Amino acid sequence: RAGLPKGAADADAPLAGRTLAMVFEKSSTRTRVSFDMAMRQLGGSALVLDAGTTQLGRGESVADTARVLSGYCDAVMIRTDDHAKLTEMAAHATVPVVNGLTDASHPCQIMADLMTLLEAGRALPGLKVAWLGDGNNVLASLVEAAALMRFEVVAACPQGFQPDEEAIVAASGRARVVADPREAVEGADVVVTDTWISMGQDDGGQEGAATKLAALAPYQVTPALMAAAKPDAAFLHCLPAHRGEEVATEVIDGPQSLVWPEAENRLHVQKSILRWCFGQIG
């Protein structure tokens, strides 16, 4: 195994000698750069494995890939379209495996969101968080966090694009779904949205995508909707953003937007995740 002996890492380079394998089946900017820079800043190194340039793209099983990477690297981060691939990787790897994103969840993003709110002086318990738009993987992780951190999520989603009911039930009363976007944002402390057409998402071609965009149009985060939230409400978006679709330019570039510190906090959160994986923080 490559890496320093246990206990040999110093305070300035706690992951010296450690290597992270980053497996990408989906394009990435923030996840790729933040994990890479996190490893560098902690004294370790990272390598990128794209599905199109590895044997994963030619039919090698995830289980076999997990076994091989475990012999070369100290941890694996996977960003994939299929949550089952993540669980298969974790089941067969003998090193830590980090969920960089799946079609079912995006926990690293939500950790950055919560860090951003804490930095802005918001106590998480008791917050009302409004979600507008598609009931996607980011919302699923937000709902999961609500149950753990004791805040409320009210998600406004159109029929046909609502989150999985099991996720809402699992939140133990901390989350609910409504049809009216104004009901969701009324008195909210935080307003959150995400792109309406996700990477690799099968929306039935151009016709299906057009139908989805039309259904979601009333859920665009506009200045009028933000005005229904609390006067000091924060706006979050995990990016990439499509101004004029899920959010108005005046909102994402306005004074209530925290999207840029939110994006930067991906780096700091990844550092914590990696150090936790190696047992360096509790």
What amino acid positions are annotated as catalytic residues?
Answer: 79, 106, 109, 194, 238, 266
Of 59, 151, 86, residue with least CA distance to 113: 151
DSSP 162: P
Tokens linked to 147: 């149950």
How buried is 205 (Cβ within 10 angstroms: 0-12 exposed, 13-18 middle, 19+ buried)? Answer: exposed
Residue 182 neighbours by CB distance under 10 Å? 15
What is the Cα–Cα distance from 193 to 210, expressed in whole angstroms?
19
C-alpha to C-alpha distances, 121 to 85, 206, 236, nearest whole angstrom? 37, 43, 15
What is the Cα–Cα distance from 127 to 153, expressed in whole angstroms?
8
DSSP 57: G
What is the Cα–Cα distance from 120 to 196, expressed in whole angstroms?
27
Type of residue at 214: A
What is the Cα–Cα distance from 3 to 70, expressed in whole angstroms?
13
β-pair type (128-132, 152-156): parallel
In total, the chain counts a number of residues equal to 282
What is the Cα–Cα distance from 151 to 123, expressed in whole angstroms?
9
Residue ranges with strand state E in 9-115: 19-24, 45-50, 75-79, 97-101
